[in-house]
Structure 1
Amino acid sequence: MNKSRKWLKRIALGIGSIFVVLSILPYLIGVSKPEDLSGMGLPFNESRFENVDGVSIHYRQWQPDQQTIKGKVLLVHGLGGSTFSWRNNIQALRDAGYLVVTVDLPGFGYSDRSRGIDHSQKNRSTILWGLLDTIDGTLSAESTAMDWVLVGHSMGGGTAVAMTLEYPEQTKALVLVDGAVFENNPGFVSKLLIYPPLARWGQVILQNYVFQYNRIETSLASAYGRTPTPEEMKANLDPFLLPGTTYAMIDLLRTAKNETVEELNTVDVPVFAIWGSNDTWVPVEQAKWIQELLPQMKLTFIDGAVHTPMETHSEAFNQQLIRDLEELDQ
C-alpha cells in the first residue's frame, strides 16, 4: 500500500514537473513583438495607411482610367492574403470605369498587428466601413453618393457578408469569390488559448514551423493548383515575417467568428458568387449549399480554377466579375 502511494506521488511529481517545464519553455524562445508598420514606408506606390478606431489599416486605391466613375469596388482578401491577391484584377476594373480599393485586414499584409484586436467579421465590418467613409470623404459628391460593390475572397467573403448586413443601404452588390462564409465557433479554441503558455506555444509554432518558406509554398500550391512563382512566394511570405504576426494570429484564433449567411435573405442586395470549379479548400458543394440558402444568388464557376480564380484564371474571372457588375445597371 505504501509503495503504491510512493509511486503515485512520484508520478504526480513527474507530471507536475513536465507541466512546469512546458509552461516555462515557450517563453525562452523568442517571438517578434508587434511594431507600428505605418512608419515603415509605403510597400507599394499606391499604398496608404488610415487609422480607424485605433487600428492602422493599409490599403491601396486606384482611380478609373476614364474621368467619370462608373462605380466603386472594394476587394477583400482571404486567409493569408493581402492587397497583392488582387494584382491581376485592378486594371480590368479600372478599364471598365470603376474606382478600386484593396485592403489588408488587421493582422494581414501591412495592417495592424497590435494585441487585443477583435477579428470577428462584425468588427472587421465596422473597421472597413469606417475606412470607406474616409475614402468617400475625399471623392466628389456624385461619387460619394454611389454605393459600394463588396467583393470578398474566401475568409474575406465572410467580411463582405458582415459588411452587407451592417449597411445594406450602402452596398450595391455582394460578390463572393470561393467564399468561406459558413458558421464557425471559436469557443473551444478561445478557452484553450486563455492559458498564456498555450498561447505562447502557438506563437512559437507559427513563427518557427508554419511561417516558413516550404510551408507557405505548399499552401500556395494547394490554393493555386500549380507551383507559385518566386514573386508570388515573396509577396505572400514577407507579411508573415513582419513583427507581431504571431500575436495577431493567436488573437484571430481567439475571436474569429462569421455572421450567419442566411441573414442576407433579409436585405435587398444582389448577391453573386464566382467559384473555382476544382476548389478543394471551399469545395463546390459548399457553393451549392450557399445557393440553397440564398436562392437569389447567381453562381458561376471558373473552369479549371482551384481556390484563387482571381489570381490563376484572372482573364476569365475579370470577364465574369465585370459582366455581373454590368447586370446591376441594366
Structure 2
Amino acid sequence: MELTIKSEKGFEYIDEGEGEVLLLLHGLFGAMSNWNQVVAHFSKSYRVLIPMMPIYTISIHKADLGGLVAFIEEFVKMKGLRDLTLVGNSLGGHVGLIYALKHKKQVHRLALTGSSGLFENGMGGSYPRRGSYDYIQEKVAYTFYDPAVATKELVDDVFEITNSNAKCLRMITIARSAQRHNMAKEVQQIDIPTLLVWGLNDTITPPLVAHEFNRLLPNSELRFIDRCGHAPMMEHPEIFNAYFEKFLQKHPLPTKSLTA
C-alpha cells in the first residue's frame, strides 16, 4: 500500500481509513513506513494515523521523552482525536505508555511491541559508530531475525542519520532519556486492556522484558512470534495483524464512547 504523507500545521503524518482511531507510534530509528502492512490491513475498518515524531528535528532542550509526549499531545489536539487505541513499537511504545498514564480518559486500549520502558539493549549494546556503512548495516540487521528485512533503503536511512551531527546528537539524547526512565512502578497504574506482541528472537528488548511487562500491567495479554526480532509488524505483519485484530474485537470501545 502506497502511503500518502500529509502536512498540516508543522506535522507530517499518515491518516487512512475511517472509524475508531488507531494511533501508531514508531521507534527511535523508525519511520511511518514501518507500519505499512498494518495500515493496509486496518484502514479498511479503522482510522489509522501515524505522526512522524520529530526525533531528529526537535529542539535540543526538548530532546527527551517529555518532549515527544508533548508532541503527541499537540498532534492529538490538532486533529481533534478521541477514544484512542495507542500502538507503539520500541521507543514509540515508551511514549505511548507515558501518554496513556497522563490521559487515562482518552486512551481505551494499548498495544506494545518491542517496547522500551523497562530495559532495552540499543543498537546491540553501543551507540552507532559514524562513518562505517558496514557497521551500520550489521547493527540494523541485528534488529531483525531475518537480516534480509534490513533493506538497503533502511540501512541508507540509518547511515544518513548517524552521519549528521545534529540528528545523531538528538537521537543519543532521547535514547539516554529513555534508558533513564524506567517505568516498572508506573505501568502498574495502567489498567486498560493491553496487548503485548513480542519477537521470540528480539535482542534489543528480549522476551524477558515482555514477560515483565505482562507481569506488571494488570490487564495485559502476551503473544510471542517465533523467528522474529524487534519489529514484529515489519517482519511478520500477517501474524501481528491477526493478534491485534483479535485483541480489538475482544475489547470493544465503551458504548458511550461510540455514541457521544
Shift of 1:130: 1.3
Structure-2 change in CA distance of 1:176 and 1:261 (3 Å): farther
Secondary structure of 2:143 counterpart: helix
Structure 2 distance, partners of 1:327, 1:77, is: 24
* CA displacement, residues 213-243 of structure 1 (integer Å, 9 cap, x when unaligned): 2232112211112232223333444454557
Select 1:232's aligned residue among 145, 148, 154.
154
Q: What's 1:296 paired with?
A: 219
Does residue 215 (structure 1) correspond to residue 168 (structure 2)? The answer is no
- Give yes or no for the alignment of 1:107 onto 2:66: no
Query: What SS is found at the alignment partner of 1:275?
Result: strand
**Structure 1 counterpart of 2:216, one-letter code:** L
Partner of 1:74: 23
- Pick one of 54, 61, 66 that aligns with 1:116: 61
Residue 88 of structure 1 corresponds to 37
Give the distance between the partners of 1:211 and 1:87, measured in 2 at CA: 29
Tell whether 2:208 aligns with 1:285: yes
Distance verdict in 2 for CA 1:287–1:224, change over 3 Å: same
The alpha-carbon distance between structure 1 residues 219 and 103, as it changes in their structure 2 partners (threshold 3 A), is farther
> Aligned in 2, Cα 1:270/1:262: closer, same or farther, shift over 3 Å?
farther
- Structure 1 gaps of 5+ residues are 1-43, 52-56, 137-143, 185-204
Contact 1:77 1:155 in 2 (8 A): yes
Amino acid aligned to 1:218: E
Number of residue equivalences: 242
CA contact (8 A) 2:19 2:46 kept: yes
Alignment partner, residue 27 of structure 1: none
Distance in 2 (alpha carbons) for counterparts of 1:321 and 1:242: 36
Shift of 1:158: 0.9
Pairing partner for 2:241 from 318, 326, 329 = 318
CA RMSD of aligned residues (A): 2.6
- Counterpart check, 1:46 vs 2:2: no
Aligned partners of 1:262 and 1:294 also within 8 Å: no
The alignment partner of 1:134 has SS state of helix
Change (3 A) 1:150 1:259: farther
Q: Is the alpha carbon distance of 1:291 and 1:210 closer, same or farther for their aligned partners in structure 2, counting shifts above 3 Å? A: same
TM-score (norm 2): 0.82
Structure 1 pair 258/48, CA: closer, same or farther in 2 (3 Å)? farther
The one-letter amino acid of 2:233's match is M
Task: Specify the alignment match of 2:111 in structure 1.
Answer: 175
Amino acid at match of 1:246: C
Work out the CA distance in 2 between the residues paired with 1:98 and 1:240: 35
Inter-partner Cα distance in structure 2 for 1:303 and 1:251: 32
Identical pairs, percent: 23
2-structure distance, mates of 1:272, 1:150 = 10
Which secondary structure does the structure 1 equivalent of 2:59 belong to?
coil
What is the alpha-carbon distance in structure 2 between the residues aligned to residue 153 and residue 168 of structure 1? 20
Cross-structure match for 1:14: none
For 2:241 and 2:25, locate their aligned partners in 1 and report how far apart those are by CA, in whole Å: 15
Given that 1:78 and 1:155 are in contact with CA atoms closer than 8 Å, whether structure 2 keeps it comes out as yes
Amino acid at match of 1:134: M
- Provide the secondary structure at the position in 1 that maps to 2:62: coil
- 1: CA distance between counterparts of 2:142 and 2:60? 30
One of 244, 258, 264 as aligned partner of 2:187: 264
**TM-score (normalizing by structure 1):** 0.66
- Could you tell me which runs of 5 or more consecutive residues in structure 2 were left unpaired when the two chains were aligned: 121-126, 254-260
Q: Aligned pair in 2 of structure 1 residues 318, 241: CA closer, same or farther (>3 Å)?
A: farther
Q: Secondary structure at the match of 1:182?
A: coil
240-249 or 79-88, which deviates more: 240-249
Q: Does 1:125 align with 2:74?
A: no
Is 1:307 paired with 2:230? yes
Q: Aligned partners of 2:246 and 2:175: how far apart in 1?
A: 37
Amino acid corresponding to residue 104 of structure 2 in structure 1: P
Cα distance in 1 for residues equivalent to 2:114 and 2:153: 23
Amino acid at match of 1:258: H
Equivalent residue runs for 1:30-45 within 5 Å: 45=4
> Counting helix residues as a fraction of each chain, which structure ranks higher?
1
CA contact (8 A) 1:162 1:259 kept: no
Pick closer, same or farther for the CA change 1:250–1:267 going to 2, 3 Å: closer
